Structure 1
Amino acid sequence: MRSASPFSAGTAPATPAPACPVSAGTATTVEELLSLARAGELGPDPVGLRISVAFTTRQAVRHEGRGTGYRNEVLSLRLAEAVGSCAVEPGALPDGAVDDCAGALVARLLEHPMLPVRVAALDAYLMHVFPHTPENGARPVALPAGTSLEKSRVRADAVAGLLTLPLGSTVLVVGVVNSLLEALRSRGLRYVPCDLKGGVTEWGEPVATDALASAGHCDALLVSGMTLGNGTFEALRKHALRHDKQLVMFAQTGSAVLPRLLGRGVSAVCAEPYPFFWLDGGPGTVHRYRAGCPGGTP
């Protein structure tokens, strides 16, 4: 475990701003992005596109040296060269969902009754239209080969580095990742951990369960893309916009969706498309985006 830096006056270390993102029309919400995608206003008509592969990834994690672990389940859909993903609560996805998605038209899945399917389909579509390239606003950050914990910590540094806050500021962390909490402490930032599951962190800190109730006591928000799939993202986006707070997203879910909302409540995104860092010990890449770049779109 890294030792925590003492809180002191000043400003947390800044990092170079990523490139500017390509705008996705006038969309300000995920629902508006879905509507534009259905209408073919963001790229090719989804009626002519078909998902070739649908699959789920289930994992249980307990990093070496850590006393607690967690489980994840992710629905992923492949459209041509692109893979879109949405995390779900383990066991929440019906057995027939994957069969329903495989071979389906993207247009139909963008209207699917299950929100995680709609999010995964939108993510695949936008990944197809706006891949994570410098031309689309992405700045890659290399994850070196290493253990799951080593790669988790490098990713956490890339995420936390997107915050620009005075030392001692308090960050709401929605979707508790212990490596992210370490990274915030190392930058002299306080945090309020929040997760729908509740419980405690690796260090025995209580985990809040109501993100919106906790947001009012925090200076900035650091939020998992999983909030797209469980329907809690929009309230947090509105809170950040209303109170002029930084909203930084770390996104395995919706890695291609959230960069399209930069400047509309989202201030920065660390996007991590499939395959995720925890699937492989080799090198990998995450892609950072930031809103408000001079000369670029928000």
Structure 2
Amino acid sequence: MTSTTRPPARVTAYGTLLDQVRAGELGPDPAARRISVAFTTRQAVRHDGRGTGYRNEVLGLRLAEAVGSCAVEPGTLPDSAVEECVGASVARLLEHPMRPVRVAALDAYLMHVTPHTPDNGARPLPLPAGTSLEKSRARARAVTELLDLPPGSTVLVVGVVNSLLEALRTRGLGYVPCDLKGGVTEWDETIVTDALAEAGRCDALLVSGMTLGNGTFEPLREHALRHGKQLVMFAQTGSAVLPRFLGHGVSAVCAEPYPFFWLDGGPGTLHRYLTGGPGDAR
């Protein structure tokens, strides 16, 4: 007898997904699965030839063979949070007072239950070796290819990455850059801070998984669902979480589990998830 492996069941809301995991409906009892390693990854970068740089800080939680991740604003995660995670059950961390801990725990659990494999709906895409800028641009192309838009369309970009903006410019797409930190882009464009206030004038949304960690994902998902817009997620944070929302506001995901492209100059792999409708890159 031949068994057929199906992609994991999809959910209609973030709260629903949490409830299902807590109840053990998607895999083993989370109270019986413990985090063995907790760590933070911090970096500062300015790509050669770029006039601006940025910093990243990511919480990582290891569950068996899986690593779950959630980005945080640099300097905001206390060392005590990392120490509290080691040896704790997933169930306990899903109730942690800090949202990034809850997101990383959820990501680790779902990565453990449904790793990024073709059987689970992932389409692997090799990321070639190269300099930090070369790899950043390669990832940006992989992400922006998931948008099915004609030139002249406008994209709300939540979580500003200059390589993503560059890739959109190359395709003749306009954009509204948005990030909670504000500031300006590499091209001195003003970065807005209120995504929902700008979403109405955009044709599609290109959104960082970091929105899971700061609580802004659900309103953006609901906006895309309500207005029938493409919502493409680029996900280091919550790479195993966001594919669960395909067809329920999310049209495509470019998932990048730890270790991320900016940690190593060698080749890597991205995992793209598609709905088979708008945003299906072929």
Alignment TM-score > 0.5, same fold: yes
Task: Provide Cα deviations, 1:27-49, integer angstroms capped at 9, x if missing partner.
Answer: 31222111111110001111111
2:219 counterpart SS class = helix
Counterpart-to-counterpart distance in 1, 2:126 and 2:172: 24
Counterpart-to-counterpart distance in 1, 2:73 and 2:84: 19
Asked whether 1:163 is paired with 2:163, we answer no
Deviation at 1:23, TM superposition (A): 3.4
Report the residue type matching 1:205 in the other structure.
E
- Of 34, 41, 47, the match for 1:57: 41
Report the residue type matching 1:203 in the other structure.
W
Determine the structure 2 residue equivalent to 1:267.
251
Asked whether 1:38 is paired with 2:8, we answer no
Counterpart-to-counterpart distance in 2, 1:192 and 1:246: 15
Asked whether 1:67 is paired with 2:46, we answer no
Once the two structures are superposed, the pairs formed by residues 210-289 of structure 1 within 5 Å of their partners are 210-289=194-273
Contiguous gaps of at least 5 residues in structure 2: 278-282
1:126 counterpart SS class = helix
Counterpart-to-counterpart distance in 1, 2:47 and 2:162: 10
Deviation at 1:167, TM superposition (A): 1.1
Counterpart-to-counterpart distance in 2, 1:250 and 1:267: 11
Does the CA-based 8 Å contact 2:157-2:178 persist in structure 1? Answer: yes
Determine the structure 2 residue equivalent to 1:22.
7
2:79 counterpart SS class = coil
- Of 173, 176, 180, the match for 1:196: 180
Report the residue type matching 1:75 in the other structure.
L
1:93 counterpart SS class = coil
Determine the structure 2 residue equivalent to 1:186.
170
Deviation at 1:253, TM superposition (A): 0.1
Task: Provide Cα deviations, 1:116-139, integer angstroms capped at 9, x if missing partner.
Answer: 111000000000011000000000
Report the residue type matching 2:14 in the other structure.
V
Runs of 4+, deviation exceeding 3 Å: none
Counterpart-to-counterpart distance in 2, 1:167 and 1:292: 21
Determine the structure 1 residue equivalent to 2:280.
none
TM-score by length of 1: 0.90
Does the CA-based 8 Å contact 2:209-2:237 persist in structure 1? Answer: yes
Counterpart-to-counterpart distance in 2, 1:148 and 1:51: 31
Does the CA-based 8 Å contact 2:69-2:103 persist in structure 1? Answer: yes
Report the residue type matching 1:151 in the other structure.
K
- Of 96, 99, 105, the match for 1:121: 105
TM-score by length of 2: 0.95
Task: Provide Cα deviations, 1:250-296, integer angstroms capped at 9, x if missing partner.
Answer: 00000000001101100000000000000000000110001146xxx
Task: Provide Cα deviations, 1:16-35, integer angstroms capped at 9, x if missing partner.
Answer: xxxx982335x312221111
Deviation at 1:95, TM superposition (A): 1.8
Counterpart-to-counterpart distance in 2, 1:118 and 1:66: 35
Per the alignment, do residues 35 and 254 of structure 1 end up closer, same or farther by CA in structure 2, a change over 3 Å counting? same
Once the two structures are superposed, the pairs formed by residues 108-147 of structure 1 within 5 Å of their partners are 108-147=92-131
2:232 counterpart SS class = strand
Query: Higher relative contact order by CA 8 Å / sep ≥ 6: 1 or 2?
Result: 1
Task: Provide Cα deviations, 1:177-220, integer angstroms capped at 9, x if missing partner.
Answer: 00000111111111110000111000111111100001001000
Report the residue type matching 1:23 in the other structure.
P
Once the two structures are superposed, the pairs formed by residues 80-99 of structure 1 within 5 Å of their partners are 80-99=64-83
Report the residue type matching 1:209 in the other structure.
T
State the superposition RMSD in angstroms.
Answer: 1.2
Contiguous gaps of at least 5 residues in structure 1: 1-19, 294-298
Does the CA-based 8 Å contact 1:21-1:291 persist in structure 2? Answer: no
Per the alignment, do residues 165 and 87 of structure 1 end up closer, same or farther by CA in structure 2, a change over 3 Å counting? same
- Of 170, 181, 192, the match for 1:208: 192
Deviation at 1:231, TM superposition (A): 0.4
Asked whether 1:106 is paired with 2:77, we answer no
